């Protein structure tokens, strides 16, 4: 099974992807980790690297090529572009939450100030929307591309995981028959 999961920063995709990987024995491929590693290799912050990526699409393409090569059977690929770049995923999942909730989650996780997190989150989203539209002609917030869309503001991570687990388990049964 090839699963993709995407969503904006702070929506809970990493937590859910880790739970899915653990439950089903899938490898967790994480676009954010690859992007952060590339930023660190260049001695840049995530925001600085995002600005650089806006100017030179080779960085996004490199992340996507790495993901595409790693996304094989029994993987969950996490990233906002994963549904668009993984070859023939079995299920494409989008997880979202209201902006204020996402900002609160990021603020707590990264030990930042709320206003700083809000500005960083909004700037990051604008940057990604611009880059993905320019490079791929894709609107990542067009949810018609997804098989399952979940508002993680309504459930905690275990609730979101239960929904995703149910969908994957059901799909596995159908594909075996």
CA distance 125 to 169: 32
Name 55's Cβ contacts closer than 8 Å, sequence gap at least 6: none
Q: Which fold has domain 2-164?
A: Rossmann fold (3.40.50)
DSSP-based helix, strand, coil % in the chain, nearest 5: 60, 15, 25
pLDDT given for residue 109 in this prediction = 80
- Closest to 96 in 3D by CA, of 5, 165, 7, 156: 7
Mean pLDDT of 45-61: 83
Predicted TM-score (pTM) of this structure: 0.85
Mean pLDDT of 107-128: 80
The residue ranges of DSSP E strands in the chain, in sequence order, are 2-6, 27-30, 75-78, 91-96, 148-151
Domain locations in the chain? Answer: 2-164
Q: Please tell me what DSSP assigns to residue 140.
A: T
pLDDT of 78 strictly over 90: yes
pLDDT of 45 strictly over 90: no
């Amino acid at each position: 099974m090839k699963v993709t999961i995407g969503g904006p920063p702070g929506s809970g995709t990493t937590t859910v992807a880790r739970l899915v990987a653990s439950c089903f024995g899938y490898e967790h491929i994480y676009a954010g980790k690859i992007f952060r590693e590339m930023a660190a290799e260049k001695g840049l912050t995530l925001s600085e690297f995002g600005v650089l990526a806006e100017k030179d699409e080779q960085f996004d393409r490199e992340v996507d090529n790495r993901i595409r090569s790693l996304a094989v059977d029994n993987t969950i690929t996490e990233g906002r572009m994963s549904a668009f770049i993984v070859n023939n995923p079995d299920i494409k999942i989008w997880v979202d939450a209201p902006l204020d909730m996402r900002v609160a989650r990021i603020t707590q996780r990264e030990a930042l100030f709320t206003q700083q997190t809000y500005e960083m989150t909004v700037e990051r989203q604008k940057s990604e929307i611009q880059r993905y539209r320019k490079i791929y002609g894709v609107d990542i917030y067009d949810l018609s591309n997804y098989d399952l869309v979940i508002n993680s503001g309504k459930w905690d991570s275990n609730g979101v995981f239960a929904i995703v687990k149910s969908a994957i388990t059901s799909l596995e049964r159908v594909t075996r028959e």
